[in-house]
Amino acid sequence: MRERVKLPDFNRLWANRVERSTSPRMADDETEREFWRTFMGRKSGYAPDTSSRRVLERLLPVFREHAVETALELGPGWGNYTLDLARLCREVACVDISRDVLDFILRIGEEQGCRNIRTFHEKWEDFVPGRTYDLVFGYNCFYRQADLAGCFARMDAAAGKLCVAGMNTGLAPAWVRELDAAGGRVSWEWKDYIYFVGVLYQMGIDANVVILPFEKELCYPDADALVRGECARCAPDCVDPETAREILCRHFTRGPDGCWRAAAAYRSGVVWWTPAARG
């Protein structure tokens, strides 16, 4: 494609970030499976994130406009959107590298009366759908996809009417930047919806984008817990605890109950497009 606007290679920029990650989950499939095995072991039931309700509210008119009746979801996690899709569609298929994730999805689906969910225990990179679905959907599930363009191309090929990709994103709060400046070598989530838009643009796809603002409250029972919790983002022994305490206590407020609280802003980037072969 001849680009209307010359831009850097967004797919390569994204890949560089994935490759530079120090998390063993990025490259080791078994470590990723073990993470979800442990995580799902702590999940007791269906409890979608609050932010997912607003995202869904924004997307429902889009799903109805495209008369979505079948859906393929990659990386369903703890089912923030899966049961909503199952209630909207006559059939939902979920693909995930983790058997524990899929077993959880089937269990909560059964508990909620959604028996139209089927699962595929495969990596998205290796999955061959064998058919198209009206909707191909993924949210907060792209962190291991080094080849984002390839991922989106597979979504595009499997979709009959609509593709949706989304993620939560946000700038680091002031105290995180100050901890980093104090030598903390902070690990902060760098992935951002702008990569989605850039990659799709360079694939020749003009995507629709909506950004939804959110805010969450961080709460710690005491100052020691505050320092431990926020310094978990730092490399070990890289920031003096007293320096960290001084920084954090300037940004967090102690309430009458003794708890330390602060608000952190983040956003949800929702991107959708009509599959190239059917647009």
User: What was the pLDDT predicted at 262?
Assistant: 96
What is the residue type of 242? E
**Maximum distance among all Cα pairs of the chain, rounded to whole angstroms:** 61
For residues 62 and 253, give the distance between their C-alpha atoms in angstroms, rounded to a whole number.
41
Pick from 75, 53, 71, 54: nearest CA to 63: 71
Instruction: Tell whether the model's pLDDT for residue 144 goes beyond 70.
Output: yes
For residues 160 and 183, give the distance between their C-alpha atoms in angstroms, rounded to a whole number.
50
Q: For the ranges 7-21, 110-124, 193-207, 243-257, which has the lowest average pLDDT?
A: 7-21
For residues 18 and 244, give the distance between their C-alpha atoms in angstroms, rounded to a whole number.
28
Q: List alpha helices for the chain, DSSP H.
A: 10-20, 29-41, 50-65, 82-88, 99-111, 148-158, 174-179, 193-202, 223-231, 241-251
Domain span at 68: 10-168+189-213+269-278
Tell me the whole-structure pTM to 2 decimals.
0.88
What H or E segment, with its residue span, contains residue 209?
strand 208-220
Does 237 map to a domain?
no
Query: pLDDT-derived band of residue 278, with 50, 70 and 90 as boundaries?
Result: low
What H or E segment, with its residue span, contains residue 95?
strand 91-96
User: What was the pLDDT predicted at 277?
Assistant: 58
Does 223 map to a domain?
no
Please state, rounded to an integer, the average pLDDT across all residues of the chain. 92
The CATH number for 95's domain is 3.40.50.150
For residues 124-134, give the mean pLDDT: 95
Q: For the ranges 124-133, 177-186, 258-267, which has the lowest average pLDDT?
A: 177-186
User: What was the pLDDT predicted at 7?
Assistant: 84
Q: Do residues 230 and 246 lie in contact, with contact meaning Cβ atoms separated by under 8 Å?
A: no
For residues 118 and 89, give the distance between their C-alpha atoms in angstroms, rounded to a whole number.
12
Q: Is 83 helix (H, G, I), strand (E, B) or coil?
A: helix
Does 183 map to a domain?
no
Number of domains in the chain: 1
Q: For the ranges 51-60, 185-194, 201-210, 228-237, which has the lowest average pLDDT?
A: 185-194
Query: pLDDT-derived band of residue 63, with 50, 70 and 90 as boundaries?
Result: very high
